[in-house]
Structure 1
């Protein structure tokens, strides 16, 4: 007998991206179903949680999840990166958290179920039929059927379609070594790749290597087996060499790790999330955080469409721009990171990754999406919305009359406001690489309008402190002065 479950949104995939979306949709009171072919818990990689993840969990009212999951945290990372000598890198306020990913996913899934998500895992097959607004999802031999208005596809890298690479090819190889006794995270640049190791909550040590797959295949007359290549690379390393023989006989897993972006993950009645939409370079260890954060943005766009259908095109534009911006910022950061490694000036693996991949492409092969990413990457090199804080300009301008610069204009731009995408007035100016509506969470247009009611900058700052802490007001004022958006009334820059 068929059972039909009526829902607003069906999510395919029970990884961090899909589960974050499910929890957020339940906060907004949508009916949610979630489907995954695998049983949870299941083995998975991506154990590293960057500092933004706890804040995301807090926004989802899921703070307790981390406490339930086996984990190891350290503030010290041993690096052989800028040179061949090992050096400690200390994270004062942001410990490196390594979790058991199988238990992490399971804890999020159980929380989603407790909040009313209709979750089906370990299903034999998934068949999708219907159209936008009236999808039918059939799951497994038990003939469970789900009827949904929208589908969120979070099934990961294997389901990514129509993607463009944002960097040269990258391959990940890894194995778990038992009882190494090493308590810290290690990262090391090698001649033709890099190594990463971290202690797992179960006592094993995860060793990963990243290389260009074309390099690994370039053996003398044959392609070395993964264990042989990994063993040879580890044997030449500074911090991992004692485990070379273990790697030779260990079971080695591999997967693609090339960063990419989907052309447009917004289809009629369907959005893609997580690795189905984009993948970042693993050098940042931020894949989980970026996948969850983008899911929250996607839910905001979907919520906008569901509540205000006339704003669908605005929500679509917002989500596409956020995705391109995320990819561009990450590309700009990874280029600097690869360029800072000791082999970067001479070795092909590093040279290829130390410069913009999109900028290197010839015009006849320059995909329009890559062109947009390249423009955003150039802009990300000098983020116009980064607070500047106290500056010498601020001190000299406090008791001067100031006004808005004549070249400043206001333009409408889609922004995330509370739980929806809305149009807000953004500042456009020749000295900004893009329009900016908010700095440090402060909406700029109404703040600038208030300048007309005061005589001097210090009076304006006093007025601002009615709605924000003084340190925040100083940061915004410093930003306005730094970019020349406020000038002295004699025409000189304040």
Structure 2
């Protein structure tokens, strides 16, 4: 098994595949000295890293906790609100992930450059250039995690570039604080790092920054900061890095998976930086990708695995594009091409109402609810399982609140009174889970209020799964 790319997706996938018993080689081009890039890790990401055994990559020496974010996103005044993130330097964080993978038995080649790859009847023949010379690697399966700049993806939204640099001598506030601001033709993000420096990134149209010399790029970067209310104080500090440009465009893989190769991380779906979900998305992509690869190589239902990953990629990309457009729309009615391009997306599906305070006394199954045969992740493999479809779900869903929906719904075939349903589920799940599951089904209109006697069967009908979209459940 060969994994190309040692970012979060590649390192996590390599360790997962080694844990599954595969001899795994991780090929990473960059050496131990990475450029400094600040990244905010929310609590959900930290929890996922802990579950996967990568929490030691976030050390007190290299991480800084931020509990406040100052935001000026519309045309009004700036507002402060609490948050809970840990700021890390990706230049230290990524190599730490690779070290954890190596400790698990992954053969790490770093720095190493992939010079050539040829598909063979047995898998792949790779030619890798290392400090010791050229090495040939034979692999049954290829996991491509080279990031959003690699070939094989298409733009999911507007082309975006991030102008990045670090400052010293700039203090946002008395306590560590993130800042985000919408400008006339850009948006800005900044946060402190554990070494006392301040990372500030300016996101602009790629067309506005193409062909700029280093001096012109720095001048543009400084001018945007001076015009921003939350970042104008940077001019009092010292710029300690050259202003470098990196691709920050949303992208999606043209072909996310084949019987011998899978693309993961940013090379599969590259999120908009505004989401602050880059590392978490990479980790979940690594989990999905390793389960798909394991299913294919272990003789499982490879067609289900490929179908699952293709549909999951499409669903994630579509949902992210719509969600990002909604975030950009909140910036107000700005007329510049930068904002118009980023708001241009399909409208978001109607939202789900907040949870009810009281449950109805009687419910019945919606006639729009159906069961389809759908691929889902179970443990380390992909299997076909019954999944529930409904217009309010958006995609087929096999599990909710940790419970298989098909079994839960089948168990209430003749029950319409809510107390009877909760009693039926009593032998299947804790009472608090039963209540949460019932509330979830009602909020999504799968179960609807029933004021009269039952009029039909209470179990969803089966239909062909051809029109469904993918869903997945983490381990």
Instruction: Normalising by structure 2, report the TM-score.
Output: 0.86
Looking at structure 1, the residues matched to 92 and 44 of structure 2 have their Cα atoms a distance apart, in angstroms, of 19
- Are residue 330 (structure 1) and residue 298 (structure 2) matched? no
- Structure 1: which 5+ runs fail to align? 1-8, 360-377
Match of 1:230 in 2: 221
What CA deviation, in whole Å up to 9, does each residue of 1:216-238 have, x standing for no partner?
5799xx99811111121111110
| Structure 1 position 353, deviation (Å) | 1.4
| Structure 1 position 43, deviation (Å) | 1.9
**Aligned 8 A contact 1:217 1:223 in 2:** no
Closer, same or farther in 2 for the Cα pair 1:390/1:26, shift >3 Å?
farther
1:191 to 173, 178, 184: 184
Looking at structure 2, the residues matched to 210 and 247 of structure 1 have their Cα atoms a distance apart, in angstroms, of 21
- Are residue 304 (structure 1) and residue 275 (structure 2) matched? no
| Structure 1 position 256, deviation (Å) | 1.9
Match of 2:467 in 1: none
Looking at structure 1, the residues matched to 34 and 310 of structure 2 have their Cα atoms a distance apart, in angstroms, of 31
**Aligned 8 A contact 1:72 1:97 in 2:** yes
The structure in which a higher percent of residues are helix is 1
**Aligned 8 A contact 1:132 1:270 in 2:** no
| Structure 1 position 445, deviation (Å) | 0.7
- Are residue 106 (structure 1) and residue 95 (structure 2) matched? yes
- Are residue 119 (structure 1) and residue 119 (structure 2) matched? no
- Are residue 72 (structure 1) and residue 72 (structure 2) matched? no
- Are residue 61 (structure 1) and residue 53 (structure 2) matched? yes
Closer, same or farther in 2 for the Cα pair 1:62/1:256, shift >3 Å?
closer
- Are residue 316 (structure 1) and residue 306 (structure 2) matched? yes
Match of 1:366 in 2: none
What CA deviation, in whole Å up to 9, does each residue of 1:29-83 have, x standing for no partner?
2211111122124225352223332232233223333236601111200111133
| Structure 1 position 414, deviation (Å) | 0.9
Closer, same or farther in 2 for the Cα pair 1:187/1:430, shift >3 Å?
closer
Residue 187 of structure 2: SS of its match in structure 1? strand
Looking at structure 1, the residues matched to 196 and 391 of structure 2 have their Cα atoms a distance apart, in angstroms, of 55
**Aligned 8 A contact 2:291 2:382 in 1:** yes
Closer, same or farther in 2 for the Cα pair 1:124/1:152, shift >3 Å?
closer
**Aligned 8 A contact 2:57 2:93 in 1:** yes
What CA deviation, in whole Å up to 9, does each residue of 1:193-241 have, x standing for no partner?
111111012111111101113345799xx99811111121111110111
Closer, same or farther in 2 for the Cα pair 1:382/1:61, shift >3 Å?
farther
Looking at structure 2, the residues matched to 170 and 130 of structure 1 have their Cα atoms a distance apart, in angstroms, of 33
Looking at structure 1, the residues matched to 37 and 228 of structure 2 have their Cα atoms a distance apart, in angstroms, of 23
| 291-300 vs 458-467, greater mean Cα deviation | 458-467
After the TM superposition, which residues 130-149 of structure 1 pair with which residues of structure 2 at under 5 Å, given as runs? 130-131=119-120, 133-140=122-129, 141-149=132-140
What CA deviation, in whole Å up to 9, does each residue of 1:215-273 have, x standing for no partner?
45799xx9981111112111111011122476899621012211111111213411112
- Are residue 211 (structure 1) and residue 174 (structure 2) matched? no
Match of 1:18 in 2: 10
| Structure 1 position 407, deviation (Å) | 5.0
Match of 1:154 in 2: 145
Aligned-CA RMSD value = 2.9
| Structure 1 position 299, deviation (Å) | 0.8
- Structure 2: which 5+ runs fail to align? 459-475
Looking at structure 1, the residues matched to 219 and 239 of structure 2 have their Cα atoms a distance apart, in angstroms, of 6
Number of positions where the alignment pairs a residue of Structure 1 with one of Structure 2: 450
**Aligned 8 A contact 1:14 1:105 in 2:** yes
- Are residue 450 (structure 1) and residue 411 (structure 2) matched? yes
- Are residue 436 (structure 1) and residue 397 (structure 2) matched? yes
Match of 2:171 in 1: 181
What CA deviation, in whole Å up to 9, does each residue of 1:120-162 have, x standing for no partner?
102365432342533232333534332211111112233232x
Looking at structure 2, the residues matched to 25 and 36 of structure 1 have their Cα atoms a distance apart, in angstroms, of 17
Match of 1:286 in 2: 277
Residue 157 of structure 1: SS of its match in structure 2? coil
Looking at structure 2, the residues matched to 471 and 128 of structure 1 have their Cα atoms a distance apart, in angstroms, of 53
**Runs of 4+ with deviation above 4 angstroms:** 216-219, 245-250, 429-432, 491-494
| 272-281 vs 128-137, greater mean Cα deviation | 128-137
**Aligned 8 A contact 1:41 1:105 in 2:** no
**Aligned 8 A contact 1:46 1:287 in 2:** no
Residue 375 of structure 2: SS of its match in structure 1? strand
Closer, same or farther in 2 for the Cα pair 1:53/1:69, shift >3 Å?
farther
Closer, same or farther in 2 for the Cα pair 1:146/1:437, shift >3 Å?
same
Closer, same or farther in 2 for the Cα pair 1:215/1:108, shift >3 Å?
closer
Instruction: Normalising by structure 1, report the TM-score.
Output: 0.83
**Aligned 8 A contact 1:175 1:247 in 2:** no
What CA deviation, in whole Å up to 9, does each residue of 1:388-426 have, x standing for no partner?
64454x2x32xx4x5434554321011112221111112
**Aligned 8 A contact 1:391 1:478 in 2:** no
**Aligned 8 A contact 2:387 2:405 in 1:** yes
**Aligned 8 A contact 1:169 1:212 in 2:** yes
Closer, same or farther in 2 for the Cα pair 1:247/1:218, shift >3 Å?
farther
- Are residue 460 (structure 1) and residue 421 (structure 2) matched? yes
Residue 195 of structure 2: SS of its match in structure 1? coil
Residue 48 of structure 1: SS of its match in structure 2? strand
